[in-house]
Amino acid sequence: MVKSTYGDEAEVILEEILKSGSDSASKIIFRATKRLNASLGGTEVQISVEEVWGKFRGMVESQLLRRRGEVANKAEEECPTLAIDNQEMFTLRELDLKEINGAVLGGGDLAVQPDAAVLWGVNVDRFHQVFRDQVIIAAATRRIDKEGGNLMKSLLNLISGIGDPWVTVSTHFNHPQIERQVEKDWNKDSKERKYLDQYLRVMADDRSRFVDRVGDSGGGQFTINIKHILDEITLATLDNIVLERFGSKALRIFRLIREKRFVEEGGLQQVVMIPAKETKMLTYQLMENHFIQLQELRKAAQSTGISKAFYLFYVDLVAVVRNCISTCQKSLFNSKNRAQAETKANARLLEKQERIESIYASMKASGAEEEQMEEVSEMMSPPEKEAAGNVHKKLDKLSLATSQTDETLFILQMYLLYKTLK
């Protein structure tokens, strides 16, 4: 997310902070600049300290980075981190960029700077908020269109600007406020601004209720129920999980039980229009995997002394979500372990390929002859190239599976978080 928004320099800054946990701004910028210039391979174009400092400043202004506190001078041994006020969390000190630049060009270590006691780290809450907004915007784009997603982004920006972004239901905002925010984000001539009323009506009428109209004064009063939107996204996620694991018929059964709340087995077979034997099998599979639960209800004993029991199926969404979270965590663990095993098993082949590619790139940059470059490329035999390609395909699939599972896990965790918020 940082790379797509702020560029490669910001990505390296974030990686350096994640490696160290927290560090001073001067050290982070020094290490990031050295690493960026090293990746350029000694070309004439070099990344300046000023550019990296500008990216760092932008990330702090966006509150993606925050201060972790101040520690005392080195003379005071084992001094605990001191708490700082919220106003100072995102206050930057000016740095001696010339000295940092000299250390980068000189290739040595950076001397102790005046800001050594001011530590910076990642603002995890802000990242979670951004990821949550991205999930909601993507949902609006799929349900409506690109412009609908853009309007949803403006509405979420409006919430962040006028109050707590983590509220379950936002404060009321009127039509002129929305107009000003849309014009600021997408300009006056955009489709989002021209068809604003139509988009607001569509978003309010949609099942997901991306916007709730709560009044007519001032051109219309609106609010956003973030908890409801995330509930709908979570339900769609669970539906997809059931569809992929058990098929469309099982999904039909799962949806019916969830909507009816309590369903008896006999009534279930009549409504879903699936043969009784198949319905029993699918219901058992869903219950075995904890997607539906069974509740027993007993009638009071009759005069004959015979009592009758009813068995009702129901869906406990919180339990289903927790079960899916456990499955996602196992999947992440297995996919990462599998990627490590593939890399370890083919370490020599991958190192050889990487070494040949670096030699080829350096020869190309120095203007070597084509014959020499062909000789270098032929250092790997065709079977080795094919084997290396297959390994990279496997690693790419595992990486994609990891990222998609992580996104699903985030949605499910957001659902549980908003269940606890009032």
Nearest-angstrom CA–CA distance, 256 and 273: 12
Q: What is the pLDDT of residue 87?
A: 65
Burial of 370 (0-12, 13-18, 19+ CB in 10 A): exposed
Nearest-angstrom CA–CA distance, 398 and 404: 10
Helix (H, G, I), strand (E, B) or coil at 312: strand
DSSP 110: P
- Residue 266: pLDDT above 90? no
Among the ranges given (20-34, 293-307, 367-381, 405-419), the one the predictor scored with the smallest mean pLDDT:
293-307
Give the containing element (helix H, strand E) for 384: helix 382-420
Q: What is the pLDDT of residue 191?
A: 87
On the question of a common fold for 2-122 and 127-224, the answer reads yes
Query: Residue 317 contacts by C-beta under 8 Å, 6 or more apart in sequence?
Result: 234, 235, 238, 258
- The domain spans of the chain are 2-122, 127-224, 249-315, 317-352+381-422
Crossing angle of the two packed helices 49-61 and 8-20, in degrees rounded to 10:
70
DSSP 85: -
- Residue 78: pLDDT above 50? no
Helix (H, G, I), strand (E, B) or coil at 157: helix
pLDDT digits (tens, 9 = 90+) for 352-391: 888 888 887 777 777 777 777 777 777 888 888 888 889 9
CB atoms under 10 Å from CB of 124, counted, come to: 10
Mean pLDDT of the chain: 85
The share of the chain scoring above pLDDT 70, in percent, equals: 92
In sign, the C-alpha dihedral spanning 124, 130, 131, 133 is: positive
Residue 225 φ then ψ, to 5°: -95, 90
pLDDT category at 159 given cuts 50, 70, 90 is: confident
Q: Domain 249-315: give its CATH code.
A: 1.10.10.10
Helix (H, G, I), strand (E, B) or coil at 40: coil
Q: Domain 2-122: give its CATH code.
A: 1.10.10.10
Among the ranges given (17-26, 107-116, 190-199, 281-290), the one the predictor scored with the smallest mean pLDDT:
107-116
User: At 281, which amino acid appears?
Assistant: M
pLDDT category at 303 given cuts 50, 70, 90 is: low
Specify the higher pLDDT residue, 113 or 319. 319
DSSP 217: G
Mean pLDDT of 138-167: 88
CATH fold for domain 127-224: Arc Repressor Mutant, subunit A (1.10.10)
Nearest-angstrom CA–CA distance, 47 and 5: 18
Give the containing element (helix H, strand E) for 389: helix 382-420
Hey, which bits of 123-235 come out as E strands?
A: 173-174, 212-215, 221-223
- Residue 76: pLDDT above 70? no
Nearest Cα residue to 228 out of 40, 365, 419, 7: 419
pLDDT category at 422 given cuts 50, 70, 90 is: low
Mean pLDDT of 305-332: 87
In sign, the C-alpha dihedral spanning 268, 269, 274, 278 is: positive
Longest CA span, the chain: 102
Structure tokens at 254: 């799962």
DSSP 212: E
Mean pLDDT of 278-297: 89
pLDDT digits (tens, 9 = 90+) for 101-149: 888 887 777 888 888 888 899 999 899 999 999 999 999 999 998 999 9
DSSP 302: -
pLDDT category at 300 given cuts 50, 70, 90 is: low
Nearest-angstrom CA–CA distance, 71 and 116: 9
Q: Does pTM surpass 0.85?
A: no
